[in-house]
Amino acid sequence: MSDNRVAYEKGRFIDQWGTQGGGAVVAGLQPDGDARELEVDTRSQLYTSSRVFKFILEIPGIGTGSDYAAADAFGTKFVIPVPVEGTISTIGLLDKDDEGIVKELVVFDADFTATTDNSAFAPSDDDLLNCIGVISIDVFYNYSVNQVGFVTPAFSYVAPNGYLYCQLVTRGVDNIAAGSIPRLFGTIV
């Protein structure tokens, strides 16, 4: 960062000031190092993002060829790099195995001890102190040989480290075939 950084009221640093329209434009960096611009409404000090962030990942640790039970951990823990503050506007689950079984995305703002894949999801009381919410993926669209689960949760968060720590939980009896590992995708604004 440059030596002429300015700290705004929340203590985060920005690199540049400029003007555009009726507000100021500031530039800084996301946790992953990508540039980010914010517009500051000088009348109300409302900060709005000028970018949309997307992520997609294969669910790690899925065991293929074995039955899951309802309330089992579905895969292992994974981390999503995110803006420090934001709103998850969409979450999708590409179900390549065409099962369409409800999943819950359990979201933490700090690292936690993961539950082993295909075991009853059992976070500790201490870990649950950092749980900031659960997003249910409960609407599926069936396309003959696969399905897409899709929700629009409008899930606002604050992630002090720039990461959300997550694990999926299944609400039914999955049996994932080899080569059909599901993918999670989402949009953050």
pLDDT digits (tens, 9 = 90+) for 63-104: 999 899 999 999 999 999 988 999 999 999 999 999 999 999
Quickly state the pLDDT bin for 19 (edges 50, 70, 90).
very low
Beta bridge partners of 19: 24
Contact between 60 and 75 under an 8 Å Cβ cutoff? The reply is yes
Instruction: Write down the pTM of the prediction.
Output: 0.74
